[in-house]
A = this chain, B = another copy of it.
């Protein structure tokens, strides 16, 4: 049995809490947040607190707070020589106060308040400063059904950066698709199966192999038709920069 204490009440904290309580191998000893309001829903099932000086004992303390708060909250923890991990993709493990046994427990996924999430689809990237701490963190991740990967700081940073490309930037392309279709009274819904198929394709095929379309073929006629259709200079700039990128990737 691994005991944990969660610090923070955002999306990551809440999804982790739910996954931990479902696991037979994990007990959540306490849940801290600076305001108790966000924790009220759970007060009958777990010990909640808004006082760091009140923290109980546990095997692992999980800091699921905003990036900017990691350093200061970790230094305020009245603990010594306990395993304290943050959950951020971009914060340095050394930003945690050095009185702790420091580590990172980074779930590589997009979390929203509403959607149910199966942790089988949430790879956990683990980094520890001390080797032995890795094992208990790995066990914790396995307990909630997550794939686990040992990832050093440099690798975690590029994963976080790549995640911005494949998640935030991709989502903005969906948004532009939405704007373009609605401008002619066409339905964005018609694009949804294509969006899903595009994501499914690269589960088995490399993105290089999966590519199709006018940019890859360097089909200038279609590219010019598209540029004429685009009314926004911003959309044109995005069309051009990504078309050039595809052409370069495929040697055009």
Contact = CB atoms under 8 A, between A and B. Distances in A.
Interface of A: 67-68, 90, 108-110, 112, 115, 121-123, 125, 149, 151, 154-159, 161-178, 180-181, 183-188, 190-203, 205-208, 210-216, 219, 221-222, 225-226, 229-230, 234, 237-239, 241-242, 244-246, 248-249
Nearest to A115: B201
Contacts of A190: 108, 123, 125, 149, 151, 159
B211 A191 contact: no
A226 B163 contact: no
Nearest to A175: B207
A50 B118 CA distance: 52
Given A112-B205, A157-B184, 5 more contacts: A109-B193, A170-B173, A171-B198, A177-B207, A195-B199
Contact of A168 (B185, B192, B211): B211
A209 to B, nearest CB: 9
A109 to B, nearest CB: 6
A105 to B, nearest CB: 14
Contacts of A188: 162
Contacts of A194: 108-110, 163, 166-167
B165 A180 contact: yes
Contacts of A248: 234
Nearest to A164: B213
Contacts of A183: 158
A185 B151 CA distance: 10
